[in-house]
Structure 1
Amino acid sequence: MKMYKLTAFEANGEKLLDESFQAENDEVAKRHGEQLLLEKDLLGKTHRCTSPSGKLLLFHS
């Protein structure tokens, strides 16, 4: 399992979410990140999900 990082921000830069989670691969991590954002009502906010190698899996500004 690999460790992924999910963050979400307000337009002023205030961090709303800063969470790490484990997933089997990038595709599973992307789905999990989207689900977390949806549950926390942050899908429309600026967010990103990155892999351990720094690959950007999700991004919205």
Structure 2
Amino acid sequence: MDYALTVFNKTGELLLNESYTFDTDEEAIEHGRSRLQEESYMTTTHRLVRSGKLLLFYR
């Protein structure tokens, strides 16, 4: 399945925009959280989606 991870700053500027393919939502969520931690974006507006389904979100 295809997933998209995006991160935005307060002005709406796109800071991170990555696409991934995983077999399960759990794998995608684990990878998404790992990437957010690596880039120090855990408390920056972000979302992880699959076919319109919101899996991770922070505002």
Query: Could you tell me the TM-score, scaled by structure 2's length?
Result: 0.94
RMSD over equivalenced CA pairs, Å: 0.7
Mapped partners of 2:22, 2:37: distance in 1: 18
Structure 1 residue 54 and structure 2 residue 48: aligned?
A: no
The ranges of structure 1 where at least 4 consecutive aligned residues each deviate by more than 6 angstroms after the TM superposition are: none
Query: Could you tell me the TM-score, scaled by structure 1's length?
Result: 0.91
Mapped partners of 1:27, 1:55: distance in 2: 13
Counterpart of 1:27 in structure 2 is 26
Q: Deviations over 1:9-56 (max 9, x none)?
A: 0011010000001111111111110101100111110000001x2110
Letter in 2 for 1:54: G
Structure 1 residue 9 and structure 2 residue 8: aligned?
A: yes
Letter in 2 for 1:17: L
> Which blocks of at least 5 consecutive residues in structure 1 are unaligned?
none
